[in-house]
Structure 1
Amino acid sequence: MPTPRFKLCLLIDDNFIDNFVTRKILETGNFAEKIVVIQSAPEAIAKLQSKEIEPDVIFLDIRMPFMDGFEFLKEFDTLHLDDDKKIRIYMLSSSLDPVDFKLSSENKYITQFVHKPLTHKVLESLSA
């Protein structure tokens, strides 16, 4: 089995089933040494701010209660975490709204918009 491409992958999504499926794909695809799942964007911001977690890559959902994916990105910007190392952020969403896709493509932190569910084929293309 190949060496994982990333040390720490953070998955931010409020949906338990989506997290279960995505985590399994990431694990079986040997994508990262460690996968951390957080079901709330505010909690993820707090853990990033305290440096409790320092991910190389983040999979971020758009539609979440309390703070959506775009609000997360605004808060993320204030943390200045990306100044030291480039964290790859993939917007992982089931949204078909062209506005969501446009906002994702215009955001300086978003590496790519990925439609749910994540598949091994898509994961391989991200690892290329």
Structure 2
Amino acid sequence: MNKKGLNICLVDDDRIYQFTARKIIETIEEVDGVKVFSNGEEAISYLQQNSYKTEDLPDVIFLDINMPVMDGWGFLEAFSDLYKKLGKLVTVFMVSSSVDESDIRRSKEFGMVSRYVNKPVSREKFEDLLKTITDTHKQQ
């Protein structure tokens, strides 16, 4: 991996969670920047507009399930098509307060979803998740 850190995308409609998660993520050494979107449609629009600029694409997306306009499932369906066209590996972590087994099973149907993570997410959990990404990049 080069000296540049990870670009993170946080997709969640909860403003308090956005604020706290962003502040935590920004303090993690491996992170270069964090973009925040309040629903899946905003995030998909950004990704489509920047699909040809790999340096602007996220390395990691933390995605909530329940959001207005376009929820996490709608995002994943739209992102499935876009994902194949990106010139960059993007890892998605589903982050939700839902402990419903059907949500966990459904998240596994999307190949780009690396893991299902229950809220709240601690600093240590964010660090562990991001470490798996930086370790993978170092091996490439």
What range describes the TM-score normalised by the shorter chain of this pair? 0.7 to 0.9
Q: How does 1:52-67 map to 2 (within 5 A)?
A: 53-67=56-70
Q: Counterparts of 1:82 and 1:26 in 2: how far apart (Å)?
A: 27
Given that 1:61 and 1:92 are in contact with CA atoms closer than 8 Å, whether structure 2 keeps it comes out as yes
Matches within 5 A, 1:1-80: 5-6=5-6, 8-51=7-50, 53-80=56-83
Tell me the C-alpha RMSD between the 2 structures. Answer: 1.9
| Secondary structure, aligned partner of 2:108 | helix
Task: Give the count of matched residue pairs.
Answer: 125
CA separation in 2, counterparts of 1:17 and 1:23? 10
- Deviations along 1:66-104, whole A, 9 cap, x unmatched? 211011010011224565221011101111111111111
Q: Which stretch shows the higher mean deviation, 8-17 or 21-30?
A: 21-30
The structural deviation recorded for 1:28 is 2.0
Deviations 1:42-85 (A, max 9, x none): 11111100107411110000000121101101001122456522
Give the corresponding residue for 1:111.
114
The 8 Å contact of residues 92 and 113 in structure 1, kept in 2 or not, is answered as: yes
Q: Structure 1 stretch 105-114 or stretch 50-59: which is displaced more?
A: 50-59
Q: Which runs of 5+ in 1 are unaligned?
A: none
- Could you tell me how far 1:25 is from its partner in structure 2? 1.5
The answer for the alignment partner of 1:123 in structure 2 is 126
- Asked whether the equivalents of residues 25 and 120 of structure 1 are also in contact (C-alpha less than 8 Å), the reply is yes
Residues 39 and 71 in structure 2, CA contact (< 8 A), matched pair in contact too: no
Identify the range of structure 1 (51-60 vs 65-74) with the bigger mean alpha-carbon deviation: 51-60
